[in-house]
Amino acid sequence: MKRWFWVFDVATVLAFVIIGRDTHGFVTDWAETLRVAAPFLLALSIGIGITRAWERPTRILTGVGISVITVVVGLGFRKYVFDAGTANTFVILTSAWMIVWMVGWRLVANLTARIMGSRRGSITT
């Protein structure tokens, strides 16, 4: 898990873009998907670096930090670097999606680890 945590965060960004494009009736081709996802993927990499996520990737605070940085920096990149829209509704949906999913998978990972740990502790030999 420690090596592959970022896959879940990248999947969060890509799912957001793919679902959003599909909702608006756009064809989902990979080049366009990556173009739309680019500001958030760049922001995600910054968030991983700032939070040093590789040290404690499943920590809830890591998820909060990464999601907030991905949203704030990603929206800034989207508006000022990629010259794309940042309507209020888009900002709200982006924030909710990133926070729920980037923190959510960490909650599930922690809960699973606790359940598995308690099962191991209850086995008698």
What digits encode the pLDDT tens for the residues 19-73? 999 888 887 789 999 999 999 999 999 999 999 999 999 999 999 999 999 999 9
State how far the Cα of 91 lies from the Cα of 71, in Å rounded to an integer: 8
Share of the chain above pLDDT 90, in %: 77
Q: CA torsion sign, 34 to 40 to 42 to 47?
A: negative
Structure tokens at 42: 């760049």
Position 3 scores a pLDDT of 79
Burial of 116 (0-12, 13-18, 19+ CB in 10 A): exposed
Within 10 angstroms of residue 89's Cβ, the number of other Cβ atoms is 8
Residue 94 CA to residue 13 CA, distance in Å, equals 9
pTM: 0.88
Comparing C-alpha atoms, which of 52, 87, 51, 45 is closest to residue 70?
A: 45
pLDDT one-digit tens code per residue, 61-108? 999 999 999 999 999 999 999 999 899 999 999 999 999 999 999 999
Q: Check pLDDT > 90 for residue 124.
A: no
pLDDT at 125: 44
Q: 81: burial class by Cβ within 10 Å (0-12, 13-18, 19+)?
A: exposed
Burial call 8-33: b when 16+ CB within 10 Å, e when fewer: bbeebbbebbbebbeeeeeeeeeeeb
- Decide if pLDDT at 122 tops 90: no
Residue 121: the pLDDT is: 59
